[in-house]
Amino acid sequence: MREPGFLRPKPAGLAALGVLWQRVAVTLADALFIAYLFLMSSYCVSRAATGTGSYLLVPWWVLLVVVVEVVAGWQALGTSLAMKATGLSVVDASMRPTPFTRRVARYLAWHVSFLPLLGTLAALWDRDHLSWHDRWTGTRWARVEESPSSRRPWRRTSWGWSILLALAVTLTAGAFITKVDLGALLTGAPKSAIVWRRIVQPDWSLLSDGISLLTVTLFMALMATLFAILFAVPLSFLAARNLMRGVVGRSVYTIVRGVMSVVRSIEPIVWAIIFVVWVRVGAFPGVLALFVHSIADLVKLYSERLESIDPGPVEAITAAGGNRAQVILYGIIPQIINPYLSFTLYRWDINVRMATIIGVVGGGGIGNPLYLATRQWEWRQAGMYMLLIVVAVWAIDYLSSRLRERLS
Amino acid sequence: MRPRFRTPRKQLVALAVDWTLLLYLSYCVFFLINHWYRALVLVSPVYRVPFPPYGYLVAIAATLLLAVVWQNLGTSIGWKGVGLALVRSDSGPASFGLRLRRIVPDLITWALALVGAVLLLLPPVGLFTLLNGVARGTGISFVPGLALWPRAPWPIALGEATLCLLSLALLAFGVWLAVNALWGFLWPARKGREPWCDRVVRARAVPASELEVTGPKRRWWRTSFGLVTVLLIAFTIYVGWLATEISLKTFVRRAATTGYLWGWIVTPDFTYFVNPDPVLQDSILGALIETVFMALMATALGLVFAFPLSFLGARNIMTTGPVGWLVYTVTRGFFNVVRSIETIIWAVVFAVWVKFGPFAGVLALATHTIAALGKLYSEQVEAIDPGPVEAMAASGARRWQVIRYGVIPQIVPSFLAFTLYRWDINVRMSTVIGLVGGGGIGRILFYYKNEILWHQVGAVMAVIVVVVWLMDYVSGRVRERIS
Amino acid sequence: MTEPHLVIEHVTKVYARGEVLALSDVSLTVNRGEFAVLIGLSGSGKSTLLRCINRLIEPTSGRILLGGVDVTKARGAELRQLRRKIGMVFQHFNLVKRSSVLTNVLAGRLGYAPAGGTLVGRFPKEDLERARACLERVGLLEKMYVRADELSGGQQQRVGIARALMQEPQILLADEPVSALDPATSSSVLQYLEQMNLEDGVTVICALHFLSLARRYGTRIVALKGGGIVFEGLPAEIDEVRFKEIYGEDAQEVEVR
ipTM of the complex: 0.86
Instruction: Return the partners of chain C (3 or more C-beta pairs < 8 Å).
Output: A, B
Gyration radius of chain C's alpha carbons: 18
pLDDT > 70 in chain A, percent = 90
Considering only CB atoms, C94 lies closest to which of A313, A323, A325, namely A313
Instruction: Transcribe B184-195 into DSSP letters.
Output: HHH--GGGT---
Q: Tens of pLDDT along A240-253?
A: 998 888 889 999 99
Task: Write the CA distances from C75 to A285, B183, C81, integer angstroms.
Answer: 49, 71, 10
pLDDT given at position A148: 60
Q: Would the CB atoms of A353 and B353 count as touching at under 8 Å? A: no
- A316, pLDDT greater than 80: yes
Q: Tens of pLDDT along C76-103?
A: 888 988 998 999 999 999 999 888 899 9
Chain A residues in contact with C80 by the CB 8 A cut-off are: 321-323
- A3, pLDDT greater than 50: no
How far apart, in whole angstroms, are the C-alpha atoms of residue B453 and residue A300? Answer: 32
Chain C residues in contact with B210 by the CB 8 A cut-off are: none
Please give the residue that has the higher pLDDT: either C122 or A144. C122
Q: How far apart are the first and last CA of chain A?
A: 45
Q: Choosing among C144, C147, C151, which should be mutated to test the B contact, i.e. which has the most B CBs within 10 A?
A: C144
Decide if A351 contacts A225 (C-beta within 8 A).
Answer: yes
Decide if B97 contacts B44 (C-beta within 8 A).
Answer: no
Residue type, B196: W
Interface A:B, Cβ pairs < 8 A: 169
Residues in chain B with pLDDT < 70? Answer: 1-7, 135-152, 189-192
Kindly tell me the sign of the dihedral angle through the C-alpha atoms of A58, A64, A70, A73: negative
Asked if A246 is an interface residue toward chain C (Cβ–Cβ < 8 A), one would say no
Decide if C112 contacts C84 (C-beta within 8 A).
Answer: yes
A48-85 core/surface letters (b: 16 or more CB in 10 A; e: else)? eeeeebeeeeeeeeebeeebeebbbebbbebbbbbbbe
Asked if C90 is an interface residue toward chain A (Cβ–Cβ < 8 A), one would say yes
- A257, pLDDT greater than 90: yes
Chain C closest-CA separation from residue B15 CA (Å): 28
| Consecutive H or E run containing C28 | strand C20-31
Decide if C28 contacts C220 (C-beta within 8 A).
Answer: no
Chain B residues in contact with C145 by the CB 8 A cut-off are: 213-217
One-letter-per-residue 3-state SS of C153-169: HHHHHHHHHHHHHHCCC
Question: A152: Cβ–Cβ under 8 A, 6 or more apart, which residues?
Answer: none
Window from A87-101, A156-170, B411-425 with minimum mean pLDDT: A87-101
Q: Would the CB atoms of C83 and A335 count as touching at under 8 Å? A: no
Instruction: Transcribe B365-408 into DSSP letters.
Output: HHHHHHHHHHHHHHHHHHTS-HHHHHHHHHTT--HHHHIIIIIH
How far apart, in whole angstroms, are the C-alpha atoms of residue B37 and residue B340? Answer: 37
Asked if A49 is an interface residue toward chain C (Cβ–Cβ < 8 A), one would say no
- A5, pLDDT greater than 50: no
Please compute the mean of the pLDDT values over residues A158-167 and round it to a whole number: 87
3-state secondary structure at position C24:
strand
Q: Choosing among C128, C145, C149, which should be mutated to test the B contact, i.e. which has the most B CBs within 10 A?
A: C145
Q: Which of A215, A213, A297 is nearest to A262 (CA)?
A: A297
**pLDDT band at residue A119 using 50, 70 and 90 as cut-offs:** low
Task: Write the CA distances from A328 to A167, A243, B219, B359, C58, integer angstroms.
Answer: 49, 10, 21, 51, 21
How far apart, in whole angstroms, are the C-alpha atoms of residue C97 and residue B452? Answer: 56
Residues in chain C with pLDDT < 50? Answer: none
Count of beta carbons in the 10 Å neighbourhood of residue B64: 19
**pLDDT band at residue A17 using 50, 70 and 90 as cut-offs:** low
Chain C residues in contact with A321 by the CB 8 A cut-off are: 80-84, 110-112, 167
Residue C88 has phi, psi (to 5 degrees) of -140, 140
Q: Would the CB atoms of C96 and A335 count as touching at under 8 Å? A: yes
Decide if B482 contacts B413 (C-beta within 8 A).
Answer: yes
Q: Would the CB atoms of B340 and A278 count as touching at under 8 Å? A: no
pLDDT given at position A16: 64
Window from A17-21, A97-101, A118-122, A146-150 with minimum mean pLDDT: A146-150
**pLDDT band at residue A322 using 50, 70 and 90 as cut-offs:** confident
* A180, closest residue in chain B (CA to CA): B359
Instruction: Transcribe B250-304 into DSSP letters.
Output: HHHHHHHHHHHHHHHHTS---TTTTSPBTTTTB-HHHHHHHHHHHHHHHHHHHHH
pLDDT given at position A7: 47
Please give the residue that has the higher pLDDT: either A152 or B423. B423
- A287, pLDDT greater than 90: yes
Task: Write the CA distances from A170 to A36, A42, B66, B290, integer angstroms.
Answer: 9, 12, 63, 12
pLDDT given at position A48: 85
How far apart, in whole angstroms, are the C-alpha atoms of residue C242 and residue C223? Answer: 10
Q: Tens of pLDDT along A33-80?
A: 999 999 999 888 888 888 777 777 778 888 888 888 888 888 888 788
The domains of chain A are located at 12-160, 205-407
Q: What is the mean pLDDT of chain A?
A: 86
Q: Would the CB atoms of B341 and A390 count as touching at under 8 Å? A: yes
DSSP-assigned beta bridge partners for residue B86? B205
Count of beta carbons in the 10 Å neighbourhood of residue A132: 20
A205-407: what CATH class?
A: mainly alpha
pLDDT given at position C189: 92
Task: Write the CA distances from A374 to A199, A368, A371, A387, B73, integer angstroms.
Answer: 10, 10, 5, 14, 52
- A269, pLDDT greater than 60: yes
pTM of the model: 0.86
- A27, pLDDT greater than 90: no
Q: Would the CB atoms of A335 and C98 count as touching at under 8 Å? A: yes
Q: Would the CB atoms of A326 and C93 count as touching at under 8 Å? A: no
pLDDT > 90 in chain A, percent = 45
Asked if A2 is an interface residue toward chain C (Cβ–Cβ < 8 A), one would say yes
Asked if C77 is an interface residue toward chain B (Cβ–Cβ < 8 A), one would say no
pLDDT given at position A73: 85
DSSP-assigned beta bridge partners for residue B26? none
Decide if B360 contacts B442 (C-beta within 8 A).
Answer: no
Q: Would the CB atoms of A265 and B465 count as touching at under 8 Å? A: yes
pLDDT given at position B150: 59
Q: Would the CB atoms of A325 and C167 count as touching at under 8 Å? A: no
Q: Which of B120, B121, B112 is nearest to B195 (CA)?
A: B112
Q: At what angle do helices A283-306 and A268-279 cross, to 10 degrees?
A: 140
